[in-house]
Amino acid sequence: MTAGPAARAPWWLARRGIAATLVVAVAVLAMAPAIANGFTYDDRVIIQDNARVHQLAGWWRLFGQSYWPPPALEALYRPLPMLAYAVQWTLGGGAPWLFHAGNLAAYALLCLAVWRLATELLPPGAALAVGVLFAAHPVHVEPVANIVGLAELGMAFGTVVALGAYLAWRERGPSPGRTLAVVAGAALAAFSKEQGVLVPLVLLLAELTLVTDRRPWWGLVRHGLPLAAALVVVLGAYAVLRSRAVATWDDAPAGLWMVLSPADRRWTMLGVAAEWGRLLLWPARLAVEYSPPHVVVHRGWSPELLPGVVVLAAGAALGALSWRRVPVAAFGLGLAAVALLPASNVFVPTGVILAERTLLLPSVGVLLAIGAWGAALWREQAPEPVVRRLAAWGVALLAAAGATRAALRTTTWRDDATLLATATAETPRSYRPWYLLGQRHVREGRVAEAEVALRRAVTLFPDDYGALALLGDLYRRQDRCGSAVPLLERALLVYPDGADARVNLVACAIGLGRFEAARRLAADGERRGIEPAAFRALRRLADSIEVRARRGAP
């Protein structure tokens, strides 16, 4: 399980303080420009405009509230990031630089934890390579440069801490401190982001691949019962608190998943798997948003899915090959698979198709696997000193290139205008950047620009409820119900429970004198239980206006 002696390592690798300093330095150089960023994207709803995180009075109530505040759909449960936002808002008076500095500090700690874990599993040189390449990985920019990425950072840090403590617990024996570290890491992961509840699965994977304990199984069970019981208590408390705070266990699904069957959703994600491989191994090209038609929708097998098949098959084959020969690599690939599972959309639809922030924890596993195979081949080949120097320079150049790419990328999240301009330029055939740009123009009262952006979004992908409803609302407010009605009707076909589209459609029906249609739409809204009082009032309004219209008729 441990890396073993490092007799041939350079003297400075034996000094852990130097290696740790290098890892932190790379992390800071890569991500420090993000401190100049403001509030962008979801930061505004979850932090800037969310009064619940603007004070510490009654901070414990955050453990009974959803992550998304009203009037947004009250979904997700992430109380620890919310508590961190409340502390930072109180200390800095809402200054965004303090939140970004907090994310940078969290990222540096995560990089240290990843390096520390690698030192337990790999020789010092390979561990340092894993640490600096992880710190410089450009795909990590989103969870660091976007403040709400703290949830991802906390989940990943908690998982790595729990894993490292568990390996120490298994190798050196149970102790209260090690047990507490495992449980605290699991709690940090779960209460930071939903995927954190998979920590026990990660520990089981480590048990199957990294631990070489030959004791009888009943001895293992006896020693492990206190730890298992503590994990059950923590995750049970999480489940109870979450069920009281949030009615649903899933997020609002991405617009694409609302119009695809489960089978088609999986075919589409098979195509996305190729992007996972590219972003984890060679993230030269990044994007703020990944959505149709930039992300190709697949409704069955297509030769275009071959790259995704190759990525998944290669990962599975390498994992099987590594199982006995390079167990650390087998664990790393398994960790990547477990970490990708919640965002894979295989079992349940999530709020994203592909998001770079969801690759933070999987990249830990992939880099561990690369480091483990590199160390294994290194031992077998016993390269000459010149080859060793070339390899060291190669890692240094990769880290420098990655850190430079990441540092430049952080400015994308400077403000909403920069972010949306970059998003529409990077993936002009993704509909969501245009939809988000339309939302921004609506908020700013720029009606003409909003119409252009929203029309572009609807043209690129005509099945997103949000874009259809917002453009329909824009037209309805301009008394252009002839243009609004087809959009609003389409929106309700996509999502029949959409209250805003239904309200606008009822208003248009009344305005056009289609009173029976207005009553029918309002009654259907009442039956569905979506704001029944509002739809009851609209139905009565339709009756009243129809009566007045008849009385005033010649």
Per-residue confidence (pLDDT) for residue 217, from 0 to 100: 67
Contact yes or no for 343/358 (Cβ under 8 A): yes
Phi/psi of residue 430, nearest 5 degrees: -90, 130
Per-residue confidence (pLDDT) for residue 8, from 0 to 100: 54
Distances, alpha carbon 439 to alpha carbons 41, 69, 133, in Å: 11, 18, 37
CATH class of 430-551: mainly alpha
Per-residue confidence (pLDDT) for residue 11, from 0 to 100: 55
**What is the Cα–Cα distance from 259 to 16, expressed in whole angstroms?**
53
Per-residue confidence (pLDDT) for residue 10, from 0 to 100: 64
CA dihedral angle for residue 433, residue 436, residue 440, residue 442, rounded to 10 degrees: 120
Per-residue confidence (pLDDT) for residue 530, from 0 to 100: 75
pLDDT in tens, the chain (554 residues): 545 444 455 655 657 789 999 999 999 999 999 999 999 989 999 999 999 999 999 999 999 999 998 876 677 899 999 999 999 999 999 999 999 999 999 999 999 999 999 999 999 999 999 999 999 999 999 999 999 999 999 999 999 999 999 999 998 888 889 999 999 999 999 999 999 999 999 999 999 999 987 677 666 777 788 899 999 999 999 999 999 998 776 677 888 999 999 999 999 999 999 999 999 999 999 999 999 999 999 999 999 999 999 999 999 999 999 999 999 999 999 999 999 999 999 998 999 999 999 999 999 999 999 999 999 998 888 778 888 889 889 999 999 999 999 999 999 999 999 999 999 999 999 999 999 999 999 999 999 999 999 999 999 999 999 999 999 999 999 999 999 999 999 999 999 989 899 999 999 998 888 888 888 888 888 888 777 778 888 778 877 787 777 766 54
DSSP 46: I
**What is the Cα–Cα distance from 408 to 422, expressed in whole angstroms?**
13
What residue ranges of the chain are covered by domains with CATH 1.25.40.10?
430-551
Distances, alpha carbon 434 to alpha carbons 164, 384, 459, in Å: 43, 55, 10
Tally of CA atoms within 13 A in the half-sphere of 3 that contains its CB: 24
